[in-house]
Structure 1
Amino acid sequence: MAFRPLHDRILVRRIEVDEKTAGGIIIPDTAKEKPQEGEVIAAGPGARDDSGQLQPLDVKVGDRILFGKWSGTEIKLNGEDLLIMKESDVLGVIELIDKMWKAA
């Protein structure tokens, strides 16, 4: 089944974090928090402004993003847990350091 978000909504897959700390301590499932990092897997065309002009989204499919702890609506699609959220719920796009150094 395919899913196409409308307006300024995006479909996000959470990126799981390591189960161990840097010191090697294993974190039990009961103490884990849901990850606040994800990958955009689908994006709507954008929202319309007051004059009716389409304002494209700043995020695109494949972007790795950071979002708030309680952002979005959890859904299950094709057996996978995903989030639908508005672009305004996105705190920022995570860029790899290698890309940043090459651009400089």
Structure 2
Amino acid sequence: MLEDILKSVNKAEAEADEILKTAEAQAVSILEEAKAQAKAMTSDTSQKIRSMNQEMTEKMQSDGQGQLAAAAAEAEKETEALREFIAPKRAEAVEAVISSLV
């Protein structure tokens, strides 16, 4: 009877060792898989961030060019308005300069 108990204990220990080895192998496998997934997620996230940065840069450049074009058009309008304003007075100014020289 004692012999049967010892055999049962030894068998149970052997099964426990086998279960432990299997669990350790699965843990290593799960860890490796998790590392691979984390690396892939990091890579994907980095790519998304680079893409978003590129899009934002392009949008800012586009917006800046639009604002620059609008400012240039406004400056052109103001310049033309000033030319129209001074055109009639130009003859008077030329005459005043000539008079002062003579």
TM range (shorter): under 0.3
Specify which structure has the bigger relative contact order, considering alpha-carbon pairs within 8 angstroms and separated by 6 or more residues.
Answer: 1
Select the structure that is richer in helix.
2
Larger Rg computed on CA atoms: 2
What TM-score do you get using the length of structure 1 for normalisation?
Answer: 0.16
Select the structure that is richer in strand.
1
